[in-house]
Structure formats: structure tokens, C-alpha cells
């Protein structure tokens, strides 16, 4: 094969890989949204087989030879193809260190654990989930050992989500955040609190559904390529840029939970929907990193969605759908109420100010689990102790404590730090966005095309062509600086609470 033929073979390989990951994601989506509970075991067997096929596609002698040839000649390739070769080469080097049986067993164990986590959460019984969690932790330790035998286990796991991330970088990031945030949260707690009584409902689920549709329209989400469904834990999953699925959860006595979940997931969705067509069948046709993805959902949820101009834009619709609850309430009252900062139990419902502390609890626990310093049976009590220490609140049950997130059930250890990092990225990206686009005017007009165009140009369209560091530098003209995040929080909450 000459170089041109090799490149064609590489593109065909990626198309096949995309098809298999499409199937795998579709099964995961089905298991989360509509599978009957009795099908958990057979679904997990099927997912194991599919992940084995994906493994064999990546790790086989024929493809290895092709990839090695292309890797050696990468300087002669166009930019996209060179990046694809680099990405696949890295993935292949990593995966061939892990035995196929281990990959299949891990996929099966994760799907089963996810099923038992759901039951444990519903029944507030950690013991149902505990043996599955123990098994996953052991598997992840082995997995990290295969990939990076001399490395630190937790650093290796974090790298699965954010390449290059390690504790040496994250510890000072979190320390700096904690030093600034804890006193600020204390001052806010002592200040006069806004009236939030009108957010307690009840809010009819049908009317909340109408609000979800309205918000997706306001953000101009293409419903021809993106649909909204319901799950216990809201998420976004994409099969291609033409098929993005987002989910939400409706709670009768909480309007903002669904409202801001939809804005958040639509932010993730908009990113996927706007990736360049040229990347459609490429391994690079996805968000750059977990934290960059989260920066985009947070940018919409908090920086735009919780701003006064955005609240003014959507409040007439809120009032129309919930006239009794919103009687005598103004858009400014609504804005103040959706920005209330108060330590709470649930991470996904946390306000902007206390959010990072929820992530810090998980980060501390994960580090200790993988250092061998904390056992699964000690986990619920340690969770509760840290919530008391960091957020000052008592956790009444495991459903609202250690069982609240789906991540560990899906084997995602080392994922949580990306949330805090992504939120910090979004502060800096928002600053750059506002320097070039009049976001407030977009809210006033209800037309976010200029915002979307800017984000597409700077971030969305590139998919995984660039690293997180490169994207931040290209978008903001300087390297990542967490000071933007802390400054933003200090400025916003000092103003809101007249500190």
C-alpha cells in the first residue's frame, strides 16, 4: 500500500470503530432510559461482547502494522490525519497492555454495578451496591497497573478523562479554591437570604416539560438532531453529530433542578451538534476532554443561564406556565432565588458557589480509596463526615449521600476533578466571550446565534483536534488561570449578597 491507500484504510477503520461505539452507546442509552429491569444481566453480556469487538478492532496485528507505518510517516500527513494517527496510536499502545478478557469483564461489571446502584439508591441500601463497588475498585486498580505499572493508580485513572492531569496539579488547584471559597461561603451564609419560597412548588410535570422544550428552543437546539428524555441522573450522549440525546429529571417540588439540567445538558449537546462535518467519522469527532466539555455546559448553565438578562428572557414563560406559584414575583426576584448560595446535599443541584466543595469531597475520597487508605464499608460514614466538615451539613441517608452519583457505578473513578476544572475553564472562556460578543444583548433579543457562532469558531468545531491547554490558549490568548473562576465568584456573590 502506498501512503494514500494507507490513509484510506485508516479512515475506513475509524468509520467501523465509530459504528461499534455507536452500538455500544446506544445500548448504554437504552439501559438507562427504557430497558426492563429484568434485562440487566443479558444487556451486560451483550455490552461485554461489543466492547470485546471494539478492543479487537484497536488491538490487532494488521491494524498495528498500518498504524505504525502511518505514525512513522506522520509529518507527511495533513493536520487532521496526523492527529488521528497520534490519537489512535496512543490508544492502541494503552489498550494492548490490557488483556481483552479484562476489558470485557470490566464492561460487564460496570453495567451490572450500574443496575444494582440504581436499586440501592432507590431503596437507600448501600449494602446492595457495596460488593459491586468493591469489585470495580479492584478491577480499576488492576487496569491502572496494566497501563502504567510504575505510575500512581489515581493519577492514571484521572488521565482517562483529562490527559496529563495529576494530583500534583489538582491538589494546589483545590487548596487555592478551598482557601478562597470557605470564607466567602461563610459570609454569604451570614448575609440576608433571598426569598426562595416560590420555587418550592408543586410544579406540574407537564408544565415543566413544556418549559424544557421552550428552553431548548431559546438555545436554538436543533430538535431534528437532538432529543430530550428522562433519567435518574441527567446526562448527554452522542452517537454522531446528527444524533445527540440529552436527559433530565423532573422533581415536582423543585423547578430549578430540571430547568438548569436542561440548560446544562443542552450546553453539552450544542458542543456535539456543532463539531465540524469533516470529523464525523473520525476518532476526533467528540469533545476535546471531559473538562472542556463540562466548561461548555457550565458556561450555559451558570454564566449565561443564571445571569439577570437570561432570567428576564425566560421569566415571562415561567410565569405563563406557573401563574399561581409566580404570583407577585418579578424577574429580579426569580434571578435572586435561582442564585441562592446555600450548602446542600446534592451535587447536581448545588449552587455555583458551593459546587466545587461537593467535588472536593469526592476527590478526597477517591484519592484515599486508591491509596488503600479507605475501604468501601467505611465510605458512607466518611462521606457524611466530609460533608459536615466542608459544607457544614448533615447527610440524612445514603440515597442523598454516597449513593447520589452514577459515576462510581459506571467505573468512572477520577472523573469528578474534571467537573471543577471545567467550571474553572468556563470562567476564563466566558471572559473571552464577553470581550467579543454582547451576551446581554443576545439575552435581551432572545437570539444566541452570535454566542453559538463564537463558541463554534473557537471550540466546538475543532472536536479533539487540539488539547485542552491549546484550546484555552487559542480561545483566551493566554494559558489557563483559575483566578478567573475565583474572581468571578467573589464578584458575583459579593454583589448578590451586598457583602
Residues serving a catalytic function are 265
Residue for grid cell 497501563: 147
Pairing of strands 226-230, 243-248: parallel
State which residue, 147 or 471, has the beta carbon closest to Zn ion: 471
Q: Kindly state the cell numbers that stand for 161.
A: 478523562
State how far the alpha carbon of 431 is from the alpha carbons of 30, 165, 281, 421, 455, in Å.
Answer: 38, 24, 33, 16, 12
Residues 6+ apart with CB under 8 A from 262: 211, 212, 215, 216, 228, 246, 248
Nearest CA to 115 among 24, 37, 232?
Answer: 37
Nearest CA to 82 among 466, 482, 499, 364?
Answer: 466
Nearest CA to 166 among 422, 406, 367, 424?
Answer: 367
On whether the CB atoms of residues 143 and 102 are closer than 8 A, the answer is: yes
416-436 vs 483-496: helix crossing angle, rounded to 10: 80
**Nearest distance in Å: CB 419, Zn ion:** 7
On whether the CB atoms of residues 248 and 230 are closer than 8 A, the answer is: yes
Residue nearest Zn ion, Cβ-based: 297
**Nearest distance in Å: CB 29, Zn ion:** 16
Whole-angstrom Cα distance, residue 406 to residue 10? 35
Whole-angstrom Cα distance, residue 490 to residue 499? 10
Q: Kindly state the cell numbers that stand for 274.
A: 456543532
Question: For 401-482, where are the alpha helices, taking DSSP H only?
Answer: 416-436, 439-445, 449-458, 468-476
Cα torsion angle, 311, 317, 323, 327, sign: positive
State which residue, 107 or 294, has the beta carbon closest to Zn ion: 294
Q: Which residues are at the interface with Zn ion (CB under 5 A)?
A: 294, 297
State which residue, 266 or 325, has the beta carbon closest to Zn ion: 266
State which residue, 46 or 257, has the beta carbon closest to Zn ion: 257
Whole-angstrom Cα distance, residue 262 to residue 267? 8
State how far the alpha carbon of 230 is from the alpha carbons of 103, 205, 336, in Å.
Answer: 29, 12, 28
State which residue, 82 or 249, has the beta carbon closest to Zn ion: 249
Bridge-partner residues for 230, per DSSP?
248
Residue for grid cell 466518611: 382
State which residue, 98 or 471, has the beta carbon closest to Zn ion: 471
**Nearest distance in Å: CB 406, Zn ion:** 12
- Indicate the burial class of 163 (C-beta count within 10 angstroms; 0-12, 13-18, 19 or more): middle
State which residue, 81 or 297, has the beta carbon closest to Zn ion: 297
State which residue, 246 or 360, has the beta carbon closest to Zn ion: 246
State which residue, 114 or 297, has the beta carbon closest to Zn ion: 297
Give Cα 81 to chain centroid, integer Å: 27
**Nearest distance in Å: CB 39, Zn ion:** 27
- Give SS3 for 244: strand
**Nearest distance in Å: CB 297, Zn ion:** 4
Whole-angstrom Cα distance, residue 256 to residue 215? 12
**Nearest distance in Å: CB 226, Zn ion:** 15
Amino acid at each position: 500500500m502506498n501512503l494514500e491507500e494507507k490513509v484510506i484504510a485508516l479512515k475506513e477503520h475509524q468509520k467501523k470503530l465509530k459504528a461499534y461505539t455507536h452500538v455500544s452507546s446506544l445500548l448504554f442509552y437504552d439501559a438507562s432510559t427504557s430497558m426492563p429491569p429484568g434485562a440487566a444481566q443479558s444487556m451486560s453480556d451483550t455490552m461485554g461482547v461489543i466492547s470485546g469487538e471494539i478492543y479487537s478492532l484497536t488491538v490487532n496485528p494488521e491494524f498495528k502494522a498500518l498504524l505504525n507505518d502511518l505514525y512513522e510517516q506522520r509529518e507527511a500527513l495533513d493536520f487532521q490525519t496526523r492527529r488521528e494517527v497520534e490519537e489512535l496510536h496512543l490508544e492502541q499502545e494503552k489498550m494492548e497492555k490490557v488483556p481483552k478478557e479484562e476489558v470485557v469483564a470490566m464492561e460487564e461489571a460496570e453495567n451490572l454495578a450500574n443496575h444494582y446502584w440504581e436499586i440501592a439508591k432507590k431503596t437507600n441500601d448501600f449494602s446492595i451496591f457495596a460488593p459491586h463497588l468493591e469489585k470495580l475498585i479492584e478491577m480499576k486498580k488492576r487496569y491502572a497497573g496494566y497501563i502504567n505499572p510504575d505510575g500512581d493508580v489515581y493519577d492514571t485513572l484521572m488521565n482517562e478523562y483529562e490527559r496529563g492531569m495529576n494530583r500534583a496539579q489538582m491538589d494546589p488547584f483545590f487548596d487555592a479554591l478551598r482557601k478562597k471559597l470557605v470564607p466567602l461561603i461563610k459570609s454569604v451564609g451570614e448575609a440576608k437570604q433571598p426569598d426562595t419560597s416560590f420555587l418550592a412548588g408543586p410544579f406540574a410535570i407537564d408544565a415543566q416539560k413544556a418549559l424544557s422544550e421552550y428552553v431548548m428552543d431559546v438555545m436554538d437546539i436543533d430538535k431534528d438532531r437532538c432529543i430530550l428524555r428522562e433519567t435518574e441522573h441527567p446526562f448527554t450522549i452522542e452517537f454522531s453529530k446528527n444524533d445527540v440525546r440529552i436527559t433530565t429529571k423532573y422533581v415536582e417540588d423543585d423547578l430549578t433542578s430540571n430547568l438548569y439540567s436542561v440548560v446544562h445538558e443542552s450546553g453539552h449537546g450544542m458542543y456535539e451538534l456543532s463539531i465540524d462535518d469533516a470529523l464525523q467519522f473520525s476518532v476526533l469527532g467528540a469533545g476535546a476532554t471531559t473538562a472542556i466539555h463540562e466548561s461548555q455546559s457550565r458556561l450555559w448553565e451558570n454564566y449565561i443561564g443564571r445571569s439577570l438578562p437570561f432570567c428576564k428572557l425566560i421569566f415571562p414563560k415561567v410565569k405563563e406556565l406557573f401563574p399561581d406559584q409566580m404570583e407577585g414575583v418579578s424577574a429580579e426576584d426569580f434571578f435572586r432565588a435561582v442564585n441562592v448560595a446555600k450548602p446542600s446535599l446534592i451535587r447536581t443541584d448545588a449552587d455555583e458557589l458551593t459546587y466545587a466543595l461537593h467535588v472536593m469531597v469526592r476527590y478526597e475520597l477517591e484519592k484515599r480509596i486508591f491509596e488503600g487508605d479507605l475501604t468501601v464499608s467505611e465510605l458512607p460514614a466518611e462521606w457524611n463526615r466530609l460533608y459536615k466538615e466542608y459544607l457544614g451539613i448533615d447527610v440524612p441517608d445514603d440515597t442523598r449521600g454516597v449513593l447520589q452519583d452514577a459515576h462510581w457505578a459506571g467505573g468512572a473513578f477520577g472523573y469528578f476533578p474534571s467537573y471543577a476544572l471545567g467550571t474553572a475553564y468556563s470562567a476564563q472562556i466566558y471572559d473571552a466571550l464577553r470581550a467579543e460578543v454582547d451576551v446581554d444583548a443576545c439575552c435581551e433579543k432572545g437570539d444566541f446565534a452570535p454566542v453559538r457562532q463564537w463558541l463554534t469558531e473557537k471550540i466546538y468545531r475543532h472536536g479533539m483536534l487540539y488539547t485542552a491547554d491549546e484550546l484555552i490558549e487559542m480561545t483566551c490568548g493566554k494559558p489557563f488561570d483559575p483566578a478567573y473562576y475565583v474572581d468571578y465568584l467573589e464578584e458575583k456573590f459579593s454583589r448578590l449578597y451586598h457583602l
